[in-house]
Amino acid sequence: MSKIPLSEGIKGDFNKILNCFNPIKAHYSKGETIEGFFDPSYESEKIGIIEKGRAYLYCADLDGRYSLLEIYLENDMFGKIFLSRLENLEYIIVADTDCDIIFLDYYHSIRPCEKQCAEHGLLLSNLFRTSAHKAEQLALHTNILSCRTIRGKLTAYFKYISGKNNSFTIPMRLSELADYLCVDRSAMMRELGKMRDEGIINSKGKTFTWLTKNY
């Protein structure tokens, strides 16, 4: 399932249509935590859209260790409605670059549009399709983490990213990949070296190439 752009199928001035959802724009600097969404005291349901920049969703376990759950790029959406929270676990979103974000009010979004515009329905449909996409991504991450070895996790992730292509580029730094796979970075780099030595893959930075079709 490919990512669903919020504006898919919508004609006309998208920014004007977006006004039906009471948007609020905010700017976050690199390294700044995007506040509120996963604070237990924060009750308002908002949907965030990355207008510009990149942000990361982290989960802290009971020991205070943070794991990378998801990467948000331009046009990606985030919010409580897209995440099944576990009790006593902290979820935070951190700006990896300077970010411009649009916040939409969820409850206002699901009400009938006062202007009775068809685009409002399309926008809402795209929100629900995005929710389904994020559920798929969570299932994928769970499946990858269930692999017992570092090689198994790398292979499962690479197969998903590469699809039917021999060459592919991962959307994160290698240190972030280790966080995403919940493995030690040094151990992961050693395993990547073994895979290169065995003629399974070739790599340059974040770009990889499968060297065998049997893997």
Structural domains present in the chain: 14-145 (2.60.120.10), 150-210 (1.10.10.10)
Give 207's DSSP letter: E
Residue with tokens 């005291």: 41
Task: Encode pLDDT of 21-51 as tens digits.
Answer: 778 899 999 999 986 555 555 455 788 889 8
Strand pairing of 66-72 and 201-204?
A: unpaired
Q: Measure the CA–CA gap between 63 and 90, rounded to whole angstroms.
A: 11
Structure tokens at 189: 């780099």
Mean pLDDT along residues 93-111:
83
More confident residue, 15 or 23: 23
Asked if residues 29 and 95 have their Cβ atoms less than 8 Å apart, the reply is yes
- Sheet containing strand 24-28, edge to edge, reads 24-28, 99-105, 46-52, 77-78
Residue with tokens 């207008």: 51
Q: Is 131 exposed, middle or buried (CB count within 10 Å of its CB: 0-12, 13-18, 19+)? A: middle
Q: Measure the CA–CA gap between 201 and 43, rounded to whole angstroms.
A: 47
More confident residue, 121 or 129: 129
Task: Encode pLDDT of 179-214 as tens digits.
Answer: 999 999 999 999 999 999 999 999 999 999 999 866
Proportion of the chain above pLDDT 70, given as a percent = 72
Which pLDDT score is estimated for 118? 62
DSSP code per residue over 29-75: -TT-EE-STT-TT----EEEEEEES-EEEEEE-TTS-EEEEEEE-TT
Task: Encode pLDDT of 51-85 as tens digits.
Answer: 899 999 888 776 777 788 888 988 888 887 776 65
Give 195's DSSP letter: H
Which pLDDT score is estimated for 108? 63
Q: What is the band of 1 on the pLDDT scale with cuts at 50, 70, 90?
A: very low
- Bridge partners of 27, per DSSP, are 100
Q: Tell which phi-psi region holds residue 75, choosing left (phi > 0), alpha (psi between -120 and 50) or beta.
A: left
What does R_g of the chain's alpha carbons equal in angstroms?
19
Which pLDDT score is estimated for 96? 94
**CB under 8 Å to 97, separation ≥6 — which residues?**
30, 53, 54
Task: Encode pLDDT of 80-100 as tens digits.
Answer: 777 665 555 678 899 999 999
Which pLDDT score is estimated for 54? 93
Which pLDDT score is estimated for 82? 74
Task: Encode pLDDT of 143-190 as tens digits.
Answer: 999 999 999 999 999 999 998 899 999 989 999 999 999 999 999 999
Amino acid type, 118: A
Q: Measure the CA–CA gap between 56 and 76, rounded to whole angstroms.
A: 11
Which pLDDT score is estimated for 2? 47
Give this prediction's pTM: 0.71
